[in-house]
Structure 1
C-alpha cells in the first residue's frame, strides 16, 4: 500500500543521487512511497515497474533493474536475501530522513548488514535463520553437494506402472531422476513388461508444426522481443562508445562531461542512429572539445555531409556539380556576343 512520505529540499542537490540517472532518481523517490514503515520492499523489478511506471510502457522491468543496480552502486538502497530465501531491498538512509509516527511492524525480513538486531517478520523477533548475503541473486549451486537429494523425493518402493505410453514416460522420468540423484540406472534392472507391446498405441504423438529453437521460451515482463527463444543480437552500447572516446583523450575528461555525453549517446542510439555515425561525431568532438550538447550537431554533420558540396551529384543526377569560376583565357572570344 502506498504511503505519503517526506522529500527534503536537500535531495535535489544530493551528490549520491547525482551519480545515477534521472530515471533511477525517480525510481528512488517512488520507492519512498512504496516501502513499508521500515524502508523495506520486495526486490522484484517487474513488481516495482508496475507500481512506479504504470503509464510509461517504455520504462519496463529491464530498465527498472538497471535503476536498482545504479541505486545499489551509489549505496542508496541495499539489496539482500531474506531468511525466507527471497530477495528484498531497503533504503539505507531511511531513518535519517523519514520520521514515521507510530510505525507498524514490518512484514518483511530484516537486513543482516544494516538491521541485524531489528525485528524479522518470519522469525517473530531477531532473525535466527539468517542466510548468507550475496551482492547478486544466486542462480545455481557454486559446487556439487556431496549428498544430492533424490528429485521430488520419490518413494523407495516403486509404484505400479500404468500400461501404454504413460508407463513408458513414467519410466523414462524415473531414470532421469535417478541419473540426477547419482543412483544406479534401472536400465539393467528386470523389466516389468512395459518395454514392448504387441499392438500399436491408438494415441499417436502430435507433431510440431515448426522446428523448436533453443533458448528460453519465457518472456520477461515488458520485453519487446516477439519470442524468448533466442537472445537478441549484441549491439554497441552507449557506455562502449563513450569509453572509446575517453580512451582516445590525452587526459580523462571531467565526470560531468562523460555523463552528459553518455546520456546524449544513449538517446541517439534509441532513435536508431547507427553507432558508426555516433562514433564519427565523438571523434569530431574529441578533436574539437566544446560543450557536450554540440555532440548532436556533430553526429548530424557526420550523417549528412557528403563530398562534392550541396549539389551531391551522386544523389541528384540532374543537378551538375559545382565548379569554381575562372577567368577565360581569351576574353574577346568568350564575350564576343556582348562586346
Structure 2
C-alpha cells in the first residue's frame, strides 16, 4: 500500500492513535522523568496536552489538513500541561503554520512542517537545553528534510520514526542527570511514543479501528513496567512551585510578559497570541507571578504544584526487584491480567 498524501480526516485518525499509544505508555514515561525536575509527571502531562489537541481537532467542522492541524495547535495550547506540554503545543503551532491552507500534505510538506515545528518550539524556550525533547524534534526534522524524495507517506514516516528513536537513545549521554540515572529523556520518549502510535496507525490503515476521545479516557493501562528507575533520588529543588495558567486579555505581548516574569524563577515559557497566552514557570513565589499577570488580563486554568513534594514521593517509592510481563490477546484477557497486578501487558 502506498499513500501519497494525508488529509484532514487522516490526521484526525493519526492524532487519535498517537494519543492512544501515549495513554498506554504514559506511566512508563513518567518513570523516566529526572530532568529538569524529577517530579514524575512528564508522560501524564504530554498525554493530557495531546488529548486536548485531539478533542479540539474532532470538534472542528473543517476537513482540510491545515484546518485540522490548526485546531490541534489551538487545543494543545489551551490544554497544555507542564513544561513538556507547553513545548508540545509549540511543536503543533509550528506544524500548523507550515501546513496552513493545505488540503493534504506530501512527505515533502510534512518534512518542512517538522522543521518549522522544531524551530517554533526552540524559540518558545528561554534557555533551550540539549538532550531533551527539543533535541529529538530538531534532529528528526533535519533527517526528514533529507528524505523528501520519498513519495510514500508510510515509508517516509517509518524512516523518520526510526531515526527519532535513535536520537532518543542518544539523549542519555547529553545530560548529566540522564546519564546518572541511566535513562533517556522523558519528554523525548513521550514524543517518540506518540509518533509511534501515529506511524503504526498508518501501517495498519485498512484495518484501523475507530476510536474516540471517550475511548482514550477509559483506557488507562500500564504500557510498560512503570516501577521507578534507578537513579531517582531526593533532590534539592531551587524553585519549588510549578505554576501555570492561561492569561486572557487584549493586546497581549508575549515578549513583554516573558520579560516581566524572568526574575521570579526558571523553566519559563510564555506562548500564545495577543488574546490568549499560556504561562509556565517554576517559582518560589507563584503569588507574585499571578499578580504580575493580573495587571494584563484575566487568569484561567490556574494550576500550582509543589514539585518538592512530588520529588519526595518519587524518591520514596520502592523500586520493584522483579516485573511480570504477559502477552495476551483481547481486551478481556488484558483486563484480567492487569487486575492481577501484572506490570506489563502486551497485546499480541
Normalising to structure 2: TM-score of the pair? 0.24
Higher strand share: 2
Higher helix share: 2
**Which of structures 1 and 2 has the bigger CA Rg?**
1
Normalising to structure 1: TM-score of the pair? 0.25
